[in-house]
Amino acid sequence: MKLLIAADMEGVSGVVNWEQVKPGTSEWQRFRRIMTEDVNAAISGAMESGVDEVIVSDGHWNGDNIMIDLLDPRARLNCGSPKPYSMLQGIDQDVDVAFFIGYHARVGTQLAILDHTWSNIVVGNVWLNDYLVGETGLNAALAGHFNVPILMISGDLAVNHEAKELIPRIQSVVVKQANSRFSADCLHPKEAQNLIREGARLAIQAYQNGEGSPVFKVKQPIQGKVELKSTELADRAQIVPGVQRISARDIVFQSEDMPAAYRTFRTVVGLAG
């Protein structure tokens, strides 16, 4: 069984501000190690339950966060940027199941550490058809195109709630609970990693028993809608071919499937920003 671990950083226990996830800072150096250990915990638990191949996609910032020398040697790592499938690089390579580790809630969520969707300065909100989605929904829908279910998520309480709304049977691992956007009640990393390891073990076990979360699919063709944070950003976003401006800060586009929608979304955010 082949597992893809999509790793982000904002949902690591102890992370409560941007400085801690900004490449190059001393705080980032500290938390990239903990991020790597969180991923290792997920690998251990999954392999205890019978996963025999793991690929990890480093999805935070430029994808240069996970410390490859400290990574479990049984896994391979997709790092760097840009990657064709971005946060889910490797999803098209005969993957059976996926985990989201270190995830954060979508933009506009109350009591959520560093809530944002893709870019904190560009994106107001994102919809796929009528679903309001964050990175969890966007990436789960992309995985769904390849018939890959998301079996587990780790992060703060808010992102766990968000994931359960889309995928009710997902194995949920809460490592911190926000007091505000920049403050949380956090588990010690060792304790968070115990929970991640156990969650991974249970998630794979449930999947093998036919009780894992189902594949998350969105109806095709897909209507994408992005609310930009300012009119200036929307002025630039509307230049993307196929994109239509429907109001001061909102653009829409139609895509035949999720890989196409994902590409258009990334182009909109890249050009606007």
Angle (deg, nearest 10), helices 135-145 and 157-166: 40
Phi-psi group of 7: left, alpha or beta (phi > 0 → left; psi -120 to 50 → alpha; rest → beta): beta
Residue number, nearest CB to Zn ion: 60
The answer for residues whose C-beta is within 8 angstroms of residue 173's C-beta and 6 or more apart is 152, 153, 154, 155, 160, 192, 195, 196, 199
Nearer to Zn ion, 28 or 146 (CB): 28
From 58-66, 136-144, 158-166, 264-272, span contacting Zn ion (CB under 5 A): 58-66
Angstrom distance (rounded) from CA 140 to CA 86: 13
Nearer to Zn ion, 81 or 231 (CB): 81
CB of 156: closest distance to Zn ion in angstroms?
Answer: 13
Nearer to Zn ion, 10 or 37 (CB): 10
Nearer to Zn ion, 62 or 247 (CB): 62
CB of 205: closest distance to Zn ion in angstroms?
Answer: 29
Residue 251 carries which side chain, given as an amino acid letter?
Answer: I
Q: What would the two tokens of residue 13 be?
A: 């226990």
If one asks whether residue 197 binds Zn ion (CB under 5 A), the answer comes out as no
User: Which residues between 10 and 49 bind Zn ion (CB under 5 A)?
Assistant: 10
- Identify any residues that bridge with 228 across adjacent strands, giving them in sequence order: 123
From 54-62, 73-81, 171-179, 245-253, span contacting Zn ion (CB under 5 A): 54-62
Size of the site for Zn ion (CB under 5 A): 4
Binding Zn ion (rule: CB under 5 A), the pick from 4, 6, 8, 173 is: 8
DSSP assigned state of 70: G
Nearer to Zn ion, 194 or 270 (CB): 270
161 included as an active-site residue:
no
Q: What would the two tokens of residue 113 be?
A: 């550490």
If one asks whether residue 106 binds Zn ion (CB under 5 A), the answer comes out as no
Q: What is the 3-state secondary structure (H, E, C) of 16-59?
A: CCHHHHCCCCHHHHHHHHHHHHHHHHHHHHHHHCCCCEEEEEEC
Vertex 205: Cα angle to 200 and 207 (nearest 5): 100
Angstrom distance (rounded) from CA 127 to CA 60: 21
If one asks whether residue 60 binds Zn ion (CB under 5 A), the answer comes out as yes
CB of 93: closest distance to Zn ion in angstroms?
Answer: 23
Choose the catalytic residue: 60, 104, 116, 145. Answer: 116
CB of 23: closest distance to Zn ion in angstroms?
Answer: 11
CB of 60: closest distance to Zn ion in angstroms?
Answer: 4
Residues that bind Zn ion (CB under 5 A): 8-10, 60
Give the residue numbers annotated as catalytic, written as ranges: 116
